[in-house]
């Protein structure tokens, strides 16, 4: 549930928010709450204090839909006044069949419709404070800690992957103006953000729909293009005069991705790429309707690491896609051994209503999916073990996420992340014996003393 530290206005209506799914949906939730706060609403941290509850749903997989439906049911049981938005908004009949008392249902990133539904369900107070004092519409409500922020650069996607219905849920690619993106990034950094996480459905395709139009920014004319955007974000500086960490997510390996690697080597971008490879076997990639140039990708990965040795590559892979043979799966394992990706997430193929993959022949039995998933995790865990062990003895920059309370001996521990670790999805760095002056958002130097398959352990070198 969202919270808000602003002082309440008498009779001020309060809105609760349950946000499910990916970081892109989280950004949608932040934008909705920001607009509502500008209209005079306060945020409620619990069901009991809310005049209405928003549930921002995920509809990417059937399991995610079920989780969303359960969240709607909980909100109805605990509060009774519920508005549904997000990716499941296109399945209003399904939602109303189970929960006929839902007040309104809107689709993904339909901000105006959500706000209008809230106005109808819980009309905003129109007292003298609201009438006379402008609301802070330019001050974003954040659902992440103050020191990191998601920066969404586009909506939708032009791909037609067989396993995905995102274009049906969120539409075709719609890029934001580059000056608007940079203005938002500048405001976030000025407000204390130390780490920007650039997100979209396809970051590499940014600006394709606008023919990479240029806009004036700080005396320059950057294009709506991933490389121009990356270069401009690298010019930002925090209050301490240092570049914020800028992390690129959902990067398809188009040729122009090569141009951002030198920016990472120069320290203008965080040396981290999140690339959704999904598989490596040519026959499976073809069935998935994805580019099947895995050999060329391996060559490019080697060149990227020559330019930027500290580059971290994370990806995700689907096992058990219809028609995947044991030979295909073995191909994937060999490819992973050669690619030596730093961070890997694995998923068992799961049909989702409306996806073209559901009609493909030769479905893989569930027990085979489980067995392949276990083997995939065994291989990737071994690679991760070796890569993290190689960092023992090194000194790395770490951003602090949380500082603990003193134990019985007065020692304080802290949790942070290296540049190889995105929040929520990668590993962490656990620090011992930190000073009580350390705070979330500090970027410090840490000597790595130990490692396991996912996390690092170390001690502070200097503030």
C-alpha to C-alpha distance for 20 and 77, rounded to whole angstroms: 18
Q: Which of 453, 278, 456, 414 is nearest to 357 (CA)?
A: 278
**Contact of 58 with 68, CB cutoff 8 Å:** yes
Q: What is the pLDDT along the chain (463 residues), one digit of tens a residue?
A: 544 444 445 578 999 999 998 888 888 888 899 889 888 899 998 999 999 999 999 887 778 888 999 999 999 999 999 999 988 888 889 999 999 999 999 987 788 889 999 999 999 875 444 443 444 444 677 788 899 999 999 998 888 788 777 777 778 899 999 999 999 999 999 999 999 999 999 999 999 999 999 999 999 999 999 999 999 999 999 999 999 999 999 999 999 999 999 999 999 999 999 999 999 999 999 999 886 566 688 999 999 999 999 999 999 999 999 999 999 999 999 999 999 999 999 999 988 777 888 888 899 999 999 999 999 999 999 999 999 999 999 999 999 999 999 888 889 999 999 999 999 999 999 999 999 999 999 999 999 999 999 999 999 996 5
Q: Is position 22 annotated in a ligand binding site?
A: yes
Pairing of strands 148-152, 82-86: unpaired
Radius of gyration of the chain (CA): 23
State whether the Cα torsion 232-137-201-312 is positive or negative: positive
C-alpha to C-alpha distance for 202 and 225, rounded to whole angstroms: 12
Q: Which of 6, 23, 5, 3 is nearest to 15 (CA)?
A: 3
**Contact of 418 with 456, CB cutoff 8 Å:** yes
Identify the structural domains of the chain with CATH numbers, from first to last: 14-132 (3.40.50.12160), 148-389 (3.80.30.20), 395-462 (2.40.50.140)
C-alpha to C-alpha distance for 432 and 422, rounded to whole angstroms: 21
Q: Report pLDDT for 139.
A: 63
Both tokens of 133, joined, read 């004092």
Q: List beta partners, residue 343.
A: 314
Q: Is position 164 annotated in a ligand binding site?
A: yes
**Contact of 172 with 209, CB cutoff 8 Å:** yes
Q: Is the pTM of this model over 0.75?
A: yes
**Contact of 152 with 180, CB cutoff 8 Å:** no
Q: Is position 308 annotated in a ligand binding site?
A: no
């Amino acid at each position: 549930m969202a919270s808000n530290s602003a002082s309440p206005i008498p009779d001020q209506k309060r809105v609760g928010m349950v946000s499910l799914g990916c970081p892109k949906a989280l950004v949608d939730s932040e934008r909705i709450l920001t607009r509502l706060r500008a209209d005079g609403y306060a945020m409620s941290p619990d069901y009991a204090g809310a005049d209405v509850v928003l549930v921002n749903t995920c509809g990417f997989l059937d399991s995610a839909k079920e989780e969303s439906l359960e969240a709607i049911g909980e909100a109805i049981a605990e509060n009774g006044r519920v508005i549904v938005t997000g990716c499941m908004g296109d399945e209003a009949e399904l939602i109303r069949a189970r929960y006929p008392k839902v007040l309104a249902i809107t689709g993904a990133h339909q901000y105006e419709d959500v706000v209008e539904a809230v106005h109808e369900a819980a009309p905003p107070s129109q007292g003298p404070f609201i009438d006379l004092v402008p609301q802070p519409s330019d001050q974003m409500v954040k659902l992440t800690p103050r020191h990191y922020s998601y920066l969404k650069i586009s909506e939708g996607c032009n791909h037609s992957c067989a396993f995905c219905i995102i274009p049906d849920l969120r539409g075709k690619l719609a890029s934001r103006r580059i000056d608007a993106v940079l203005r938002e990034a500048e405001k976030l950094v000025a407000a204390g953000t130390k780490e920007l996480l650039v997100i979209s459905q396809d970051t590499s395709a940014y600006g394709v729909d606008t023919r990479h139009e240029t806009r004036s920014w700080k005396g320059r004319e950057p294009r709506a293009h991933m490389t121009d955007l990356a270069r401009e974000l690298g010019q930002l500086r925090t209050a301490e005069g240092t570049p914020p960490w800028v992390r690129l997510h959902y990067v398809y390996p188009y040729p122009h991705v090569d141009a951002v690697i030198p920016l990472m080597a120069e320290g203008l971008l965080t040396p981290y790429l999140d690339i959704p490879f999904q598989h490596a076997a040519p026959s499976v990639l073809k069935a998935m309707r994805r580019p099947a140039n895995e050999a060329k990708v391996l060559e490019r990965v080697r060149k990227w690491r020559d330019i930027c040795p500290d580059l971290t590559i994370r990806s995700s892979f689907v096992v058990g896609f219809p028609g995947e043979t044991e030979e295909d799966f073995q191909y994937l394992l060999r490819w992973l051994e050669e690619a030596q990706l730093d961070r890997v997430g694995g998923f068992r193929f799961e049909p989702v209503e409306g996806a073209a993959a559901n009609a493909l022949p030769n479905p893989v039995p569930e027990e085979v999916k489980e067995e392949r998933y276990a083997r995939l995790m065994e291989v990737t865990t071994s690679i991760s073990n070796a890569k993290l062990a190689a960092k023992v003895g090194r000194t790395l920059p770490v951003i602090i996420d949380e500082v603990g309370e003193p134990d019985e001996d007065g020692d304080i521990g802290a949790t942070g992340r290296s540049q190889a670790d995105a929040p929520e999805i990668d590993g962490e760095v656990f620090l011992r014996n930190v000073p009580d002056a350390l705070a979330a958002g500090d970027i410090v130097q840490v000597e790595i003393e130990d490692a396991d398959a996912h996390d690092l352990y170390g001690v502070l070198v200097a503030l």
